Amino acid sequence: NVTDWQYLNLNYVAKAKIDQDACIKCGRCYAACEDTSHQAIWMHPGRVFEVNDAECVACNLCVDVCPVEDCITMVQMAPGEVDPRTGRVVSPDYANWTTHPNNPAARAAE
């Protein structure tokens, strides 16, 4: 699934989820996120890794570095839920860059 950035639905919100039963506790997800991304994975005692939804931007880096297939997946947040990272309610409406409220040009055109 590839498209130009301008056509991405910016109201699509997802978060990484780690399957603790499948996890081999290698820590690659933690290291990748800590060193190159958003510091959105916590390491608890016993090398239990947990995604901090308030920091996760669904960049997919943890999925890419995980050696266990389907151990880490991106799960879409349902419309109406509050995104803990932004504090905004997830909208069911499609919004690309021309209409999204984060785009200053969209606000200027109003």
pLDDT at site 107: 64
Quick check: helix, strand or coil at residue 76? strand
CATH of the domain at 101: 3.30.70.20
Distance (Å) of CA 62 to CA 17, 46, 78, 89: 10, 19, 22, 25
Q: What is the mean pLDDT of the chain?
A: 92
The per-residue pLDDT for 95 is 86
Contact 97, 105 (CB under 8 A): no
Is residue 110 predicted with pLDDT exceeding 80?
no
pLDDT number for residue 10: 86
State how far the Cα of 74 lies from the Cα of 28, in Å rounded to an integer. Answer: 17
Dump pLDDT digits (tens) for 62-76. Answer: 999 999 999 999 999
Query: How many domains are contained in the chain?
Result: 1
- The answer to whether the CB of 71 falls within 8 A of the CB of 49 is no
**Residue 15: helix, strand or coil by DSSP?**
strand
Domain that holds residue 94: 5-108
pLDDT reported for residue 108 = 58
